[in-house]
Amino acid sequence: MDGWNSRTNMTMLTDFYELTMGKGYLDDGKAEKIVYFDAFFRNVPEQGGYAIMAGLEQVIDYLSDLHFTEEDLQFLSGYGFDEKFIDYLRNFKFSCDVWAVPEGTPIFPREPLIKVRGPALQAQLLETALLCTINHQTLIATKTARIVRAAEGRPIMEFGARRAQGFDASVLGARAAYIAGAAGTSCTICGQQFNIPLSGTMAHSWVMLYDDEFEAFKAYAESYPDKCLLLVDTYDVLKSGIPNAIRCAKEVLEPMGKRLLGIRIDSGDLTYMTQKARKMLDEAGLTDCKITVSNALDEYLIRDLISQGACIDSFGVGERLITSKAEPVFGGVYKIAAVEDDNGNVVPKMKISETTAKVTTPCDKEIVRFYDNDTGKALADVLFVKGEELPNGEPYEIFDPVETWKAKTLTNYTAKKILVEVFRNGELVYEKPSITEIRNYCTKQLDTLWDSVKRFENPHTYYVDLSPKLWQIRDDILRGYRKNKR
């Protein structure tokens, strides 16, 4: 099946300054100069301990169809771009090398999630679409992972399509949620596009359309005897909804040899309501009837409900998941890290700012993740200059890149590169995994994180360190800048 982005050529999804710079590069003879860009982020949303990489499949779809149509070129001509630049775009062919962190991988601030090497005009053009795609899906995957963790094994269904910020946000947000552990989605087109399980039964309007709540339940049960789940809070959960659901189970379903699958509660004091509902259902012999709840849930509310003894088997989570309501922005950025000189030497580049958080890490880099051989847990990530010798089991000292006196020696570990090659000279060389494979991989990768890294409040800091060589290059650039300012 074609990817979601393949419905429309997305080449023009770019900030206008990418094009104005592109013309400038062409005019100054720098359009083909080889550069290295990193896409990375600075802070985990909600002061969490980790994020979840998502969106690479849509990045691949976008990069696989980069071209300017005659309609695009005519539009750009109206903004004063000369024929030389228009002709360059007309003959545009993507030829960059791209590496990326696989979807479903836990990721941490300041490490390159996507690395692009190629002609300056091309690499610059990619900025907006790459960030738009990765920022959104990584944000939703990260939020979902927190919600799934709070549910302690109870299924989470993504119910947010109607509250998402637009069509793509609803579809691709549901995709990201599934990667990070949601059991399925209510978004039908997402299920169709990505083969994700669908869930949904009835709305309050179904019950209200009938003169009587029981008649509404009866009609639904007759239509769906094998998967009857009834919404019981249209009028009064305990005095009307549950009694009518029990009556429906006894008078409609059981004579057919069927069982009431479950009930859903969408309002009220969910702890109290589910405890009372469970008691009523059990006393009626419906011990196998599941209780689902919804209503503006997030990880904190779910955690509280469980700690209070709520009798809940699954959760439907909508607006606070699909919008990551508590912190709806994932601050990924795209910065130049190196350029190649005329002899092919890689020259490090670094943004220096009065704001410490905005100082970048130079060089063409590798991410190496260290795993403890006894526990399988991730110990730390280290950024190496590409090509330098990597550790191979010998004791290796990691240190805080800022507070350098904080150091620790790692032993009995396995070190693995995280970035994988995706495009070589503009040609796709990466085999895209299925959504199920990504989801299973994400589950396994999350298991490599210590619980202290995954807790919601004051998580343990997972360190992303620099190799001594990379730290020295970075320090030399900073020192040289300070010296030149005097």
pLDDT for residue 351: 94
The contacts of residue 343 (CB under 8 Å, 6+ apart) are none
User: Is residue 387 helix, strand or coil?
Assistant: coil
Q: Which residues of the chain, if any, have pLDDT below 70?
A: 1-8, 485-486
Please give the structure tokens belonging to residue 134.
């990765």
Alpha helices in 1-150 (DSSP H): 16-27, 56-63, 70-77, 83-90, 120-125, 127-150
pLDDT for residue 482: 75
Question: Smallest Cα–Cα separation from 435: which of 171, 256, 246?
Answer: 171
Side-chain-side CA neighbours of 23 within 13 Å: the count stands at: 15
- Phi then psi for residue 185, to 5 deg, are -145, 155
List Cα–Cα distances, 449 to 42, 239, 452, 454, 462, in angstroms. Answer: 20, 46, 8, 7, 9
pLDDT for residue 2: 53
Please give the structure tokens belonging to residue 406.
């904080």
Domains of the chain in sequence order: 4-140+327-485 (3.20.140.10), 150-322 (3.20.20.70)
Please give the structure tokens belonging to residue 57.
């499949």
List Cα–Cα distances, 39 to 55, 85, 169, 361, in angstroms. Answer: 13, 26, 21, 11
pLDDT for residue 3: 55
Burial class (CB in 10 A: 0-12, 13-18, 19+), 366: buried
Q: d(Cα 326, Cα 139) in Å, to the nearest integer? A: 11
Pairing of strands 290-293, 262-265: parallel
pLDDT for residue 4: 53
pLDDT for residue 1: 41
The contacts of residue 7 (CB under 8 Å, 6+ apart) are none
Q: d(Cα 285, Cα 46) in Å, to the nearest integer? A: 43
Task: Extract the runs of DSSP E, i.e. beta strands, from 364-480.
Answer: 365-372, 378-385, 396-399, 407-410, 413-417, 420-424, 427-428, 464-466
Helix (H) or strand (E) holding 274: helix 270-283
pLDDT for residue 354: 82
Please give the structure tokens belonging to residue 283.
């006393």
User: Are 52 and 341 a contacting pair, CB within 8 Å?
Assistant: no
pLDDT for residue 486: 60
Q: pLDDT (tens digit, 9 = 90+) per residue, 416-430?
A: 999 999 999 999 999
Q: pLDDT (tens digit, 9 = 90+) per residue, 41-54?
A: 999 999 999 999 99
Task: Extract the runs of DSSP E, i.e. beta strands, from 271-387.
Answer: 290-293, 314-317, 332-340, 346-348, 365-372, 378-385
